[in-house]
């Protein structure tokens, strides 16, 4: 019986099923059969009804009316659905709130496990299943059924599901201003608030929800689907809104029963009594589902016609797919609806699988029973990468389905703008529209992280700008998408890039008011003091738009770049990761999602004027900046002078300077004088005029820059000479302690650098970050400047951390500078405070040209960092195959172990999910069964833990022992025991059985051989014995 005393649990569980005795008088007349006798089909095939609540609910109160306290799954349903067994699934709302929609896979798996356990009895296994799901519980149900479809263990659950009742499920998400805000308010009281990734995933038409709904489409013909949608707004705090609108609550499947309910999001599943109109519609439809299922659910085979190749294509497992194709599987086999494996790969978004199938002869023009090609399937499901692959293979874009729709029509109908873009512009990653926007810029603006990552892999330019001068980073920070912003920064996006109005990404984030994005930018070194064309800093804009917390954060942040201290291993080697990208540390992590990110080693390159750290020096940028300044100057009497200087009108400037009300040293709002402006423009005639009339050559603007700094930045050598001859202070420092020589070196103006040095500029002056002019030149790859300064015996170190210009040049991949420095007798093996040498840095970033140079100059191969890592450990972990090959060819010891884990390069390649490097190392003699010294784990353990199937397969195929155990007695299959790693765990368990079987056979064979050997030896001894003859011993 149903157990009302079972409390709402936070652990995932199915409340024990309720068995209800048949009521004596079921509600309503019994349905007559064809011969007039009342038929009771439920008597022979009782159903199981499974309730799944939303994130805000629990096992009980989701379904309980607050007024009558009626718990209708217990109090009403058994009387109206005779013979039903009701089960109620509960899960940890707190855990769910802490994840994104992709995290619902865990709950879906728990639902399958619980159902599987409950349905082992003979009278249970054939019961038809009906799901009733509220809100996001419907997402869990869909995920469970999609997962069951491809997992043989749960296939019967999929086959015996006959219907689903969705109550206000957001199949397509919701407007972030309504649903996510309500969710945040609700979640705060339960868990302290949902994660940003969850609310992002719930945006209207989010990629995660769209992908799941697309996958669920394959199941639509198997179930009856009833969708109830709310019509009344719900009040939460000061907000009132329809939480899940009709468009999102309906799947729009063929045959879907769509029912409007005069209730809000919370009330839609709480029925006061059995006469409730919505309840009446619900239970009658459940009865209808069960009625129609009789005789149809006994089939337990695969009734879709899917071959193993279909399943492999849909599951997205390249190794399994290749194996089947190598065994002769028909690449164009059709299921019962005419779909080939290519159709399924297109729907699921597996571009790698798509590529393999096309190369193996898959017919891209094959149409299913609805006339849809693979391009139709990919387009209607928004699968950008697959559309790309198909367009590159010249798939027919004009093909029409039976409904007369092309693939482009499908993309438009689904509002998949990225796919529409591809059809309009073709698979050219840098094609621009009328506004100069590329698909890459569009994807960043719309928070499409997967699309951004895909386009980067196809060669998208991270520095590309549109007509407004905006980069992808501007777009990502404006929309508050931290994940995309971080991805762009990892790929060397220009953090202080300014658009035509001088707006940087930090300005955009400050206006948008997203503290996570702001924190990311300042942590990565964004310059807080950069001003836009109106003189506004990020702090000004944060205050203007009411984001006081962000304004305070920015105010407290030190403008100068801070080099993070080296970070060592945390306590657990299983969760180790390299430090963030602002510095290279010597830690090698297990790889996970972010471990492919090579460490970034940044050198501060701030603008002395505080407005253009990106180094924008084009004439248009200068004119735009000067236009703003001339309009906003501080002293009215100087207006004409600023205008004359801006227009480079010498006569007008000379005439104005003769007037009494013109202050030659008057400043604009930036604190800049006319001499600053003329020096920036490189107008030596006006500079000469101003200096002859005794303009203050050492006047500073608000960023501490003098006119000489301005001239040095843009390489105006003649202006610099005029200023020096007029007693300009050649050693003057700006707000970040940079001299004119720092600025000229940083921007690569060799002639200006030589001039400044000839007039006594300090070669070894350090800015606030301890950087010398030579180091700044090295960071920018200014080879000739580095050569000149090195010849002048400039200090090659940066600060007290032990870092040299060689570290900096190696990190940025400037091979020419590295060569110059090596010719200058710099210490090639110098280590910084973390123990990193230039070879460690170049190897970790995969800069094979620099690695080659360092190896040619005899860099120490086996030098270890403070944590005991060699260059080979770093290259292997980050998956840099070519660098790994170079290091091995130069004699790197493959079996060298690090200090912390006592692990080899093969361990780290496995941690980093780098199957190609694993194979390379093994081909060069790496020991597969090497055990790390502190845990006793093999490379196979780490590959299993990371859940990377190709690496696991590579190790197993090369002879890795699946039975190997750690010091704690754990096998690789134990380390893979996470729901999302089921495929790997099952593979390892299967290989364990095969290994045991093989070992037994070998042992048996060995014993047999030993027995035969003993027998042979016995026979030999017998032959060698003499026989007694009575006379003597005769041989």
The 3-state secondary structure of 394-420 reads: CCCCCCCCCCCCCHHHHHHHCCCHHHH
Confidence band for 207, pLDDT divided at 50, 70 and 90: low
For 671, other C-beta atoms within 10 Å of its C-beta total: 16
How many whole angstroms separate alpha carbon 835 and alpha carbon 807? 11
Instruction: Provide the Cα torsion 469, 472, 477, 480; round to 10°.
Output: 140
Provide the token pair at 763.
Answer: 């070669």
pLDDT computed for residue 614 by the predictor: 37
Looking at every residue in the chain, the average pLDDT score rounds to 77
pLDDT tops 50 at residue 591: no
Residues 6+ apart with CB under 8 A from 577: 587, 589, 590, 592, 594, 595
pLDDT computed for residue 906 by the predictor: 96
pLDDT tops 70 at residue 93: no
Most confident of the ranges 418-422, 564-568, 957-961: 957-961
pLDDT computed for residue 663 by the predictor: 87
pLDDT computed for residue 378 by the predictor: 84
pLDDT tops 50 at residue 612: no
- The predicted model gives 492-504 an average pLDDT of 91
**Are the CB atoms for 283 and 77 separated by under 8 Å?**
yes
Confidence band for 414, pLDDT divided at 50, 70 and 90: low
Confidence band for 124, pLDDT divided at 50, 70 and 90: low
For 24, other C-beta atoms within 10 Å of its C-beta total: 5
Most confident of the ranges 257-266, 440-449, 455-464: 257-266
pLDDT computed for residue 595 by the predictor: 35
pLDDT computed for residue 1012 by the predictor: 83
For 782, other C-beta atoms within 10 Å of its C-beta total: 25
Higher pLDDT, 230 or 445: 230
How many whole angstroms separate alpha carbon 24 and alpha carbon 18? 18
Higher pLDDT, 11 or 372: 372
pLDDT tops 50 at residue 125: yes
Helix segments in 515-579, DSSP class H: 515-523, 538-544, 548-556
pLDDT computed for residue 978 by the predictor: 76
- The predicted model gives 223-244 an average pLDDT of 81
Q: Nearest Cα to 73, choosing from 134, 149, 153?
A: 134
Q: Report the first-to-last Cα separation within the chain, whole angstroms.
A: 91
Q: What pLDDT, in 10s, does the model give residues 748-803?
A: 999 999 999 999 999 989 988 888 999 999 988 999 999 999 999 888 776 667 78
Share of the chain above pLDDT 90, in %: 30
Q: How many residues does this entry show for the chain? A: 1035
How many whole angstroms separate alpha carbon 63 and alpha carbon 84? 17
How many whole angstroms separate alpha carbon 45 and alpha carbon 63? 26
Confidence band for 880, pLDDT divided at 50, 70 and 90: very high
**Are the CB atoms for 469 and 500 separated by under 8 Å?**
yes
DSSP secondary structure string, 807-850? HHHHHHT-HHHHHHHHHTT--TT---TT---HHHHHHHHT-HHH
**Are the CB atoms for 45 and 104 separated by under 8 Å?**
no
Which domains are present in the chain?
Answer: 13-21+41-293 (3.40.50.1820), 308-403 (1.25.40.20), 439-559 (1.25.40.20), 607-735 (1.25.40.20), 760-827 (1.25.40.20)
Q: What pLDDT, in 10s, does the model give residues 307-337?
A: 888 888 887 778 778 888 988 899 999 887 8
- The predicted model gives 939-944 an average pLDDT of 93
Give Cα separations from 68 to 57, 270, 274, 276, 497 (angstroms).
18, 10, 12, 12, 62
How many whole angstroms separate alpha carbon 979 and alpha carbon 809? 44
Q: Nearest Cα to 126, choosing from 258, 349, 293, 6?
A: 293
Higher pLDDT, 259 or 178: 259
Confidence band for 574, pLDDT divided at 50, 70 and 90: very low
Provide the token pair at 291.
Answer: 């009625």
Q: Which helix (H) or strand (E) holds 221?
A: none
How many whole angstroms separate alpha carbon 545 and alpha carbon 554? 14
């Amino acid at each position: 019986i149903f157990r009302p005393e079972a409390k709402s649990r936070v652990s995932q569980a199915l409340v024990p099923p309720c068995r209800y005795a048949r009521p004596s008088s079921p509600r309503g007349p019994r349905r007559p059969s064809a011969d007039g006798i009342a038929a009771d089909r439920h008597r022979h095939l009782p159903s199981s009804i499974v309730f799944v609540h939303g994130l805000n609910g629990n096992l009980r109160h989701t379904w309980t009316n607050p007024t009558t306290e009626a718990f209708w799954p217990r109090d009403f349903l058994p009387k109206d659905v005779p013979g039903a067994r009701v089960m109620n699934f509960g899960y940890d709302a707190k855990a769910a709130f802490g994840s994104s929609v992709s995290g619902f896979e865990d709950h879906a798996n728990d639902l399958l496990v619980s159902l599987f356990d409950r349905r082992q009895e003979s009278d249970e296994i054939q019961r038809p299943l009906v799901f009733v799901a509220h809100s996001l519980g419907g997402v869990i149900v869909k995920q469970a059924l999609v997962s069951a479809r491809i997992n043989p263990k749960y296939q019967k659950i999929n086959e015996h599901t006959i219907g689903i009742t969705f109550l206000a499920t957001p199949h397509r998400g919701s407007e972030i201003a309504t649903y996510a805000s309500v969710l945040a308010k609700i979640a705060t009281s339960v868990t302290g608030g949902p994660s940003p990734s969850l609310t992002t995933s719930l945006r209207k038409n989010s990629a995660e929800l769209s992908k799941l709904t697309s996958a669920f489409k394959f199941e639509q013909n198997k179930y009856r689907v009833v969708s109830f949608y709310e019509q009344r707004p719900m009040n939460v705090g000061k907000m009132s809104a329809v939480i899940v609108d009709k468009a999102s609550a309906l799947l729009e499947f063929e045959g879907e029963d769509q029912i409007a309910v005069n209730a809000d999001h919370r009330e839609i599943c709480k029925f006061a009594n059995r006469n409730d109109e919505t309840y009446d519609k619900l239970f009658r439809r459940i009865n209808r589902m069960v009625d129609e299922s009789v005789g149809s659910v006994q089939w337990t085979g695969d009734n879709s016609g899917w071959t193993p190749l279909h399943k492999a294509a849909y599951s997205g497992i390249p190794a399994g797919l290749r194996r089947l194709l190598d065994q002769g599987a028909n690449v164009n086999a059709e299921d019962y609806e005419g779909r080939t494996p290519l159709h399924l790969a297109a729907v699921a978004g597996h571009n790698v699988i798509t590529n393999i199938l096309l190369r193996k002869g898959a017919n891209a023009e094959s149409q299913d029973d609805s006339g849809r090609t693979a391009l139709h399937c990919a387009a209607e499901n928004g699968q950008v990468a697959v559309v790309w692959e198909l367009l590159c293979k010249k798939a027919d874009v004009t093909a029409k389905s039976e409904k007369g729709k092309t693939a482009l029509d499908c993309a438009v109908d689904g509002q998949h703008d990225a796919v529409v873009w591809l059809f309009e512009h073709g698979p050219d990653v840098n094609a621009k529209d009328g506004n100069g926007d590329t698909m890459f810029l569009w994807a960043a603006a719309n928070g499409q992280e997967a699309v951004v990552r895909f386009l980067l892999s196809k060669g998208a330019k991270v520095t590309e700008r549109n007509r407004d001068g905006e980069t992808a980073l501007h777009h990502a920070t404006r929309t508050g998408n931290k994940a995309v912003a971080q991805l762009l920064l990892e790929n060397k996006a220009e953090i202080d890039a300014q658009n035509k109005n001088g707006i940087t990404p930090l300005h955009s984030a400050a206006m948008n008011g997203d503290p996570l994005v702001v924190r990311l930018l300042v942590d990565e070194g964004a310059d807080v003091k950069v001003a836009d064309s109106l003189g506004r800093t990020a702090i000004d804009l944060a205050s203007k738009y009411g984001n006081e917390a962000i304004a305070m954060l920015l105010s407290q942040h030190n403008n100068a770049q801070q080099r993070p201290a080296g970070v060592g291993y945390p306590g657990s080697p299983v969760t180790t990761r390299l430090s963030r990208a602002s510095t290279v540390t010597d830690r090698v992590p297990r790889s996970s999602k972010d471990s492919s990110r090579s460490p970034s080693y940044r050198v501060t390159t701030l603008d002395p004027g505080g407005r253009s750290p990106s180094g924008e020096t084009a004439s248009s940028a200068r004119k735009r900046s000067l236009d703003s300044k001339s309009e906003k100057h501080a002293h009215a009497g100087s207006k004409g002078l600023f205008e004359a200087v801006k227009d480079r009108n010498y006569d007008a400037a000379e005439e104005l300077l003769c007037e009494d009300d013109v202050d030659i040293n008057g400043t604009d709002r930036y604190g800049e004088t006319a001499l600053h402006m003329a020096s920036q423009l490189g107008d030596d005639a006006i500079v000469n005029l101003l200096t002859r009339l005794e303009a203050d050559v050492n006047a500073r603007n608000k960023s501490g820059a003098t006119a000489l700094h301005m001239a040095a930045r843009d390489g105006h050598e003649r202006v610099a000479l005029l200023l020096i001859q007029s007693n300009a202070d050649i050693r003057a420092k700006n707000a970040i302690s940079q001299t004119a020589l720092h600025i000229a070196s940083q921007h690569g103006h060799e002639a200006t650098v030589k001039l400044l040095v000839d007039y006594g500029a300090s070669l070894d002056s350090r800015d606030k970050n301890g950087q010398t002019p030579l180091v700044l030149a090295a960071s920018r790859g200014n080879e000739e400047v580095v050569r000149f300064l090195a010849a002048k015996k400039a200090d090659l170190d940066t600060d007290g951390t032990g870092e040299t210009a060689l570290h900096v040049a190696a990190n940025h991949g400037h091979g020419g500078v590295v060569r110059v420095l090596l010719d200058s007798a710099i210490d090639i093996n110098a280590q910084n405070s973390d123990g990193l040498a230039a070879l460690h840095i170049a190897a970790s970033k995969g800069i094979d040209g620099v690695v080659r140079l360092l190896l040619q100059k005899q860099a120490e191969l086996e030098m270890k960092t403070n944590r005991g890592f060699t260059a080979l450990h770093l290259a292997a972990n980050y998956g840099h195959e070519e660098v790994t090959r170079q290091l091995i060819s130069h004699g790197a010891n493959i079996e060298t172990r690090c200090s912390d884990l006592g692990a080899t390069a093969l361990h780290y390649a496995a941690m980093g999910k780098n199957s190609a490097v694993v194979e390379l190392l093994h081909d060069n003699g790496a020991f597969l069964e090497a055990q790390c010294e502190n845990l006793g784990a093999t490379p196979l353990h780490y590959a299993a833990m990371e859940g990377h199937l190709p690496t696991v397969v590579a190790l197993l195929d090369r002879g890795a022992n699946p039975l190997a155990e750690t010091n704690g007695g754990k096998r690789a299959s134990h380390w893979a025991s996470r729901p999302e790693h089921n495929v790997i765990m099952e593979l390892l368990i299967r290989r364990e059985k095969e290994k045991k079987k093989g070992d037994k056979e070998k042992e048996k064979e060995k014993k047999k051989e030993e027995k035969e050997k003993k027998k042979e030896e016995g026979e030999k001894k017998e032959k060698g014995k003499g026989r007694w003859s009575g006379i003597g011993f005769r041989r």
